[in-house]
Each structure stands twice: as structure tokens, then as C-alpha cells.
Amino acid sequence: MNHRRTLTGTLVAAALLASGCTGSGGSSKGADAKAPDDPAQVSGTIKVLTHRTDIVQDGTMKKYADTFNKTYPKVKVEFEALTDYEAEVKIRMNTENYGDVLMIPGVIKKNDYPKFFASLGTEEELGKKYRFTDFTTVDGKVYGQTTNGGTPGFVYNKKVWAEAGVTDWPTSPSEFLTALKAIKSKTDAVPYYTNFAAQWPLTSWTYVDGSVSCDNAATTRLAEGDPWAQGEDLRVGDTLLYDIVKQGLIEKDPTTTNWEGSKPRLAKGEIATAWLGSWAVLQFRQAAEKAGANPDDIGFMPFPAQVDGTFCAVLSPDYSQAVNINSDHKEAARAWIDWFSTESGYADDNLLPSIRKDAPLPEALKPYEDAGVKLIELDDAKGGLVKEIDSASEVGLYGPAYRQDLVDLARGAKDGSLDDFLADLSERWTEAQKSVGS
């Protein structure tokens, strides 16, 4: 009996010890990663953590690094591509070993940025040249710089849409539904593909936010208001998704969808439409080439809603790169971040908007310019609060679960009505607002 008591004692002691360890990690140092003055003098080996496993494997990243070395000959860049980026980096961030440059994972609270990353400078200064700086600003200092911008929209097959007799972009959700119905009756294509099983494509529907109201304070409205009140952006988006599924305009079995398989199928005209982001255009065009279809058939259109006769599209940042606060080569790391996001040509290569305010729009968004689509940038001052409310309420705006439930509800695999479903979300959201706000 005595033995057992000592064992329990040891366990309790171990527990206290272990928890004490986690508590002491990562004291805030508030370091800076200054941009180097003379590129020839910067030296060191830096490790860059990235989620782009594809372009690390096919050597594209290596080519970028080689070009980088022409300007910064003494910096050696190594890449580490992580398949399940968010989950793996999150665990590594409990140690000091999370690369020299990394993409800021979504789980880090904005206010914690100064504890993990070195500052890149003041927002006042960087904000003049670059877009999206306020997404990573804490107390006037910027902690991350995104590699490129992007905008959500429908990737669609132009030929199929034309075959169905729809040549103009629909301007309202009901017109959009009519167009999908025309596609269903006049062509063999699946009007809309949910990518339900891949899960993450469904989260793109959250980025409807701002497109409907054309209001750059849409994020603040999420933090302070009810996102599923009548006429709010997310309600409009979710209702459209519900109606598309409810009216049978999707693939027959969403539970076994296949993301990689959907790319060539859309290119070949077996699928007409999918709500994704502008980053997807390049991937679908490449899939079209591989499948022997015409890459020019891949089109991109904004959310079917207009304010005063114009479409709105939200420009938002991709993953942001940051410098590890524990890095020994902060200057070299900073040099890589600046070079990669402004001079590498990464954004252009991927047909994505550059972060430089003076850069022209990429070719994939050319039709937007022609149609006079208004591009807006959301104010992200309340972005951190939105994430906290999201976690507290367990709604999961940035996770797939609630959209999967919505699709299940619409196709009758789950009981209930849309109104009740959205009302429940509203209730949980506003309830959490109270607890987080206090």
C-alpha cells in the first residue's frame, strides 16, 4: 500500500513539474529583425518552414533560393515542407526550434505574436508600401509579411456555362441558382462541386464575408454583431450554399468527393463550378493542360451580389511569413521574407495579387478589371477577437465542421431547418461574444 502512495506522489510531482515547464517557455523578448543594409554582408543558414510541399518537392523553391543567392550570396536557404502544416508547427512552437522563417499558423493569437516572432518594423512605415500589414500588426509593430494576396470566387468552366446559355456573371444568389439549374438541364456537367470530403474547400465559404455588403468593416461586424442576422454576408453565403445543395445542383455523393480528381474534371467540363479562391485558378489550368483540355476554359467569377450595380471582391492575405524570435540569423531571415514577397515573382507565378501596393493585378483577375469589380481590403483590427469568439463558441468559421453540417442538412442527411440551424449558430456566437469580451 505504501508503495502505491509513493507512486501517486511521484506522478503528482511529475505532473506539476511538467506543467511548470510549459509555463516558463517563451518569455517575451521583443526582438527586431531589421532589413540588412548591405546584401553582400549578410550571412548564415536559415531554415524556412512552409506548407507548400508541392513546390518544395518539384524543385521550384530551390530555384527561388538560387535566384535569391544572386543578391545575397552568403545566405544559405533550407526548406522544410510540412504536410499537416498547422498541426505540426503548433506543437513545435512549444519549443524554440521552429525554423528561422515560418508561416504564421492560424492558432497563434494575434496578441501573442510579439512572444513568438521578431518585429519587421512599424506599420506606419511598412503600410505605405505593402498591403495587408494590419493583419499582423500588434501595438503598431508588424510581425509578419504575407507572400501574396488572394480573393475568393467561383472557379468555373466557361465552355459549360456558355453551353447552358449563361454568358453574364449572375448578379444575385437567385440568378446564380437559375444559372446552375440551366447547367443541370442543358449539359451533362455537375453544376456545383462541394469537395465535401476534402473538408477544407468548404471553409472558403467563410470568405464570402465582405463580398456581399462591400463593407471593409465586415470583420468588425463579425466581432460585434450577429453574422447570421438577416442580410448579413455569412447568412447570404450560407443560404446560397444550402439552396444549391437542397435543389440537387451538386454531385450525387458529396461524402466521397476527391479534391485532386475534381481539378481535371472541371477542366474537362464534367464539373461546372466550385467556390474556392483565386489561387486555385493556376492549379486548375495546370490540371487542364495535363488532362488535354483547354486551360483558357477555366474562368473565375465573383460572388453573385452587387452593391449599387457593381460586384465586390475581397482581397485578403495568404499565409504570412515571420521571423522566429529565437533565430540566430534574423537579418538573413528578414532578407528572405522581403525578397520572397516582393522580388521573387512567386505571386506572379501563381497568378496572385502582389503585396506591393503599386503592382498591377495578375492576369487571372483581368476579367475583374474589365467588369469593373471593386476590390476591397477588410480592416483586420478585430480579426484576433473574431478568432477568439470562434473558438469559444465552437462554431468553427475556419474549420469544415459547420459547413459539412449545413450540406448534410440541405441534402436531408440531418434533420432540421435552415432557419433553426442558423439561429443556433447566432445564439452560440453572440453568447461567446459576451464571455470573450469581458
CA distances from residue 381 to 56, 138, 218, 427 in whole angstroms, order as listed: 33, 9, 11, 24
Helix (H) or strand (E) holding 118: strand 117-118
Q: Is 405 in the site for another protein (CB under 8 A)?
A: yes
Stretch that binds another protein, among 21-29, 227-235, 297-305, 368-376 (CB under 8 A): 21-29
Give the nearer residue to another protein in terms of CB position, either 174 or 255: 255
Tell me if 93 sits within 8 A of 108, measured CB to CB.
yes
In the set 112, 163, 348, 349, which binds another protein (CB under 8 A)?
112
| C-alpha torsion angle, residues 40, 46, 48, 49 (rounded to 10) | -170
Under the binding rule (CB under 8 A), the answer on residue 408 touching another protein is yes
Q: Minimum CB separation from another protein for residue 18, in Å?
A: 4
- Give helix 330-342 / helix 60-71 axis angle, nearest 10°: 110
The 3-state DSSP class for residue 231 equals coil
Pattern 308-347, binding to another protein, x per CB under 8 A?
A: ----------------------------------------
437 binds another protein (CB under 8 A): no
Of the candidates 41, 91, 119, the one whose C-alpha atom is nearest the C-alpha of residue 327 is 119
Task: Kindly report the length of the chain.
Answer: 438
Query: Quick check: helix, strand or coil at residue 406?
Result: helix
Name the segment binding another protein (CB under 8 A); options: 62-70, 191-199, 211-219, 368-376: 191-199
* Binding flag, residue 23, another protein (CB under 8 A): yes
User: Any contact of residue 99 with another protein (CB under 8 A)?
Assistant: no
Give the interface size with another protein as a residue count (CB under 8 A). 43
Tell me which residues in 223-252 interact with another protein (CB under 8 A): 252
* CA–CA separation, 380 and 224 (whole Å): 13
- Which position among 9, 18, 41, 174 is part of the footprint of another protein (CB under 8 A)? 18
* Strand partners for 314: 376
Task: Count other C-beta atoms under 10 Å from residue 89's C-beta.
Answer: 21
8 A C-beta contact, residue 171 and residue 304: yes
Between 316 and 393, CB nearer to another protein: 393
Q: Which of 41, 67, 255, 310 binds another protein (CB under 8 A)?
A: 255
Residue 26 touching another protein (CB under 8 A): yes
Provide, rounded to whole angstroms, the least separation between the CB of residue 360 and another protein: 38
Considering only residues 182, 197, 361, 436, which one is a binding residue for another protein as defined by CB under 8 A? 197
Name residue, grid cell 454583431.
225
Using CA atoms, how far apart are residues 252 and 249, in angstroms rounded to an integer?
Answer: 9
Nearer to another protein, 307 or 413 (CB): 413
Contact 238, 205 (CB under 8 A): yes
Q: What is residue 356's DSSP assignment?
A: B
Judged by CB under 8 A, the residue of 40, 87, 307, 423 near another protein is 87
- Find the part of the chain contacting another protein (CB under 8 A) among 155-163, 194-202, 353-361, 375-383: 194-202
Closest distance between another protein and the C-beta of residue 274, in Å? 18
Q: Which of 9, 14, 419, 420 binds another protein (CB under 8 A)?
A: 14
The span of 41-49, 195-203, 271-279, 368-376 binding another protein (CB under 8 A) equals 195-203
Give the residue among 389, 402, 394 at the shortest CA–CA distance from 435.
389
- What is the footprint of another protein within residues 27-66 (CB under 8 A)? 27
Cell of 336: 528572405
Could you say which of 19, 167, 185, 417 contacts another protein (CB under 8 A)?
A: 19
219 to 237, 320, 346, 382, 435: CA distances (angstroms):
15, 18, 28, 7, 19
Choose among 118, 67, 81, 62: nearest CA to 327. 118
List Cα–Cα distances, 199 to 10, 142, 190, 254, 284, in angstroms: 43, 32, 19, 11, 18
For residues 194 and 278, which CB has a smaller minimum distance to another protein in the complex? Answer: 194
109 binds another protein (CB under 8 A): yes
In the complex, the residues that contact another protein under the rule CB under 8 A are 11-12, 14-16, 18-19, 22-23, 25-27, 87, 90, 93-94, 105, 107-109, 112, 115, 196-197, 199, 252-253, 255-256, 390-391, 394, 396, 399-401, 404-405, 408, 411-414
